[in-house]
């Protein structure tokens, strides 16, 4: 047999031998690409712990996600901190730059003592406003919970051009959302006497903090570390008086409800309400009321309590990603 006759066979055999190797190489390249994508996702999900000085306040905050992604500002409530977002952040950080500051008087943020700093909701909003400007955040969605709501609504009403959307998780703006738990606070607002002030101290007890977390929730899904951390924060020297000041100032939030409702009607911000329907503090009618002033608001009642993220972080994360994907242009 001539060389000419055997050559095609040799080439065919070599190609046959190389084919599996080429397939393996393709698989390897695909695996490398997937690994690179996985590495990128893992990097985006990393939470960085940072500080930003705003005037006389040293704001501690958590940040995750790509620097060039749309921003979600996460505002916590009483008596917690940005720690409450630990399970939600991984659900959002792949697509969004997520930033969660601790408010003055909470968590790891360092603010002057009472007497040198007025612990009011106006001042909480001013600090958060300065914080967003210091970080160069010109547009952002706001996730607001509990005290984060009156803080966030102040920002939104003052600067509607900055706010791309509102996600309210048990963050109230309507009187029908206030439960009977507020009765002693309303009495305190009407009569800020030492006796009334002493009466509302019951809301600062460890037992009440546990109730915030556990009432209406599946206790088996709630990490005890969460409420024990908040109990420890509340036990810091001087913290009780700071919180009593904020309890009294909460009356200004209720007085601002009509102005915030007018903001909803005038500017029609996209609103997503994801609400624990067994909340002992803010009732479901407060969630449904958003539809009255913003008819396109989307309301989801979840089978849980006040701290809905403790039991439903995945569900709320999915709602947010879907909602912002439909409602907010990149």
Name which of 208, 234, 4, 193 is nearest 105 in CA terms: 234
- The set of catalytic residues is 306
Is residue 10 in a domain?
no
Counts for the chain of helices (H) and strands (E), in that order: 12, 8
Is residue 21 in a domain?
no
User: Structural domain of residue 152, as residue ranges?
Assistant: 39-327
Is residue 30 in a domain?
no
User: What domain count does the chain have?
Assistant: 1
Confidence band of 23 (pLDDT split at 50, 70, 90): very low
Taking only the tens place, the pLDDT of each residue in 158-214 is 999 999 999 999 999 999 999 999 999 999 999 999 999 999 999 999 999 999 999
Please give the distance of CA 5 from its chain centroid, rounded to a whole number.
74
Is residue 134 in a domain?
yes
HSE-CB at 84 with a 13 A cutoff on CA atoms is 31
What does the pLDDT read at residue 10? 39
Is residue 168 in a domain?
yes
**Residue 313, domain CATH:** 3.40.50.1820
Confidence band of 43 (pLDDT split at 50, 70, 90): confident
Is residue 14 in a domain?
no
What does the pLDDT read at residue 35? 52
Residue 5: pLDDT over 60: no
What does the pLDDT read at residue 8? 38
Give the angle subtended at the CA of 267 by the CAs of 161 and 290, to the nearest 5°.
Answer: 125
235 three-class SS: coil
Is residue 16 in a domain?
no
Is residue 9 in a domain?
no
pTM of the model: 0.88
Q: How far apart are CA 125 and CA 129, in angstroms?
A: 6
């Amino acid at each position: 047999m001539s060389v000419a006759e055997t050559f095609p066979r040799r080439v065919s055999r070599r190609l046959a031998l190389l084919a599996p190797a080429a397939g393996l190489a393709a698989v390897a390249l695909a695996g490398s690409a997937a690994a690179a994508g996985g590495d990128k996702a893992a990097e985006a999900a990393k939470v960085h712990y940072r500080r930003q000085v705003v005037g006389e306040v040293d704001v501690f905050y958590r940040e995750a996600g790509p620097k060039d992604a749309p921003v979600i500002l996460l505002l916590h409530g009483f008596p917690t901190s940005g720690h409450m977002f630990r399970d939600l952040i991984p659900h959002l950080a792949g697509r969004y730059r997520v930033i969660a500051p601790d408010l003055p008087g909470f968590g790891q943020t360092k603010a002057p003592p009472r007497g040198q700093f007025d612990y009011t909701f106006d001042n909480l909003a001013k600090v958060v406003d300065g914080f967003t400007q210091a970080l160069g955040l010109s547009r952002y969605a706001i996730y607001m919970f509990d005290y984060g709501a009156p803080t966030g609504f102040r920002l939104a009403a003052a600067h509607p051009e900055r706010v791309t959307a509102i996600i309210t998780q048990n963050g109230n703006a309507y009187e029908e959302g206030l439960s009977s738990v507020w009765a002693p606070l309303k009495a305190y607002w009407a009569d800020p006497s030492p006796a009334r002030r002493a009466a509302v101290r019951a809301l600062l007890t460890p037992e009440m903090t546990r109730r915030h977390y556990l009432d209406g929730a599946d206790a088996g899904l709630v990490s005890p570390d969460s409420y024990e951390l908040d109990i420890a924060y509340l036990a810091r020297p001087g913290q009780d008086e700071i919180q009593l000041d904020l309890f009294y100032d909460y009356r200004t939030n209720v007085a601002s409800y009509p102005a915030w409702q007018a903001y909803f009607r005038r500017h029609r911000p996209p609103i997503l309400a994801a609400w624990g329907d067994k909340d002992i503090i803010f009732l479901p009618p407060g969630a449904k009321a958003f539809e009255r002033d913003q008819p396109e608001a989307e309301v989801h009642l979840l089978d849980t309590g006040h701290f809905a993220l403790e039991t439903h972080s995945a569900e709320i994360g999915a709602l947010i990603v879907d909602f912002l994907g439909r409602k907010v242009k990149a």
